[in-house]
Amino acid sequence: MKSFVFDGLEKLNKKDMSHAVSIITNAFSEDPCLKYLLNSEEYDHDKAKFIHEYTLKIGFFYGSVQTASSANEGVSIWMPPKRVTTSPLMFIRAGGLSLRKNVDLKVIDRIQVYGDYCGSLHQKYVKEPHWYLESIAVDPKEQGKGFAGKLLRPALDYFDKYGFPCYLETHNPKNVTFYEKYGFNVMEIGKLPGTNKPHWAMLRQAQVIK
């Protein structure tokens, strides 16, 4: 599955990993969930990049990390059926243990609390084989040019062709509107654990191709 690429997209090359981390780190500078994981209302780019690097490695090793073109204007991280949850082995291989040193001593605890919460909603709303959108990010310098749609549409076409639902979470109301345009439905609006910050659980069923 590591080499799987949706038609019209390109697989992220290993040599471009550092650039992809930079894209995601910059794109998520206002994301409430990342601030939650950092345990701060201030977004520390230097610390956040290690969380994004870990997430990217999870996708690179066990899922599919794709770009719209070789210019790497943005990246999407998809986890396939049977890989929608992170096992302890996956966590360790992707460098999760190093987060204590690079972020803070409690960051793994927060990741686990967040993961348990997300997992409970995930399992509640989709039980059949499906794909999970771990992350999608466009370089801030390239935003507003349609790259998010270019990253998303080929995946959805594949899911519609083969009958797969797909699931995601977001913490930004603008993102909710964007995903709804592509057929995602809000299943529940929760809260990030211990906060009043909203957490949207969204599901898209495969659509009939006419």
The ranges assigned to domains in the chain are 10-204
Q: Is 10-204 assigned to CATH 3.40.630.30?
A: yes
What string of pLDDT tens digits covers the 210 residues of the chain? 446 899 999 999 989 999 999 999 999 999 999 999 999 999 999 999 999 999 999 999 999 999 988 888 999 999 999 887 888 999 999 999 999 999 999 999 999 999 999 999 999 999 999 999 999 999 999 999 999 999 999 999 999 999 999 999 999 999 999 999 999 999 999 999 999 999 999 999 999 766
Query: What pLDDT does residue 2 have?
Result: 47
Phi, psi of 157 (to 5 degrees): -60, -40
pLDDT at 3: 62
CB-based contact 136:76 (threshold 8 Å): yes
Q: Can you give the pLDDT at residue 202?
A: 98
Which one, of 124, 52, 118, lies nearest residue 86 by Cα?
118
Q: Can you give the pLDDT at residue 70? A: 85
- The contacts of residue 130 (CB under 8 Å, 6+ apart) are 81, 84, 164, 165, 166, 167
Dihedral in degrees, nearest 10, Cα atoms 51, 117, 156, 15: 10
Q: Are 23 and 77 in contact (CB under 8 A)?
A: no
**173 DSSP 8-state letter:** H
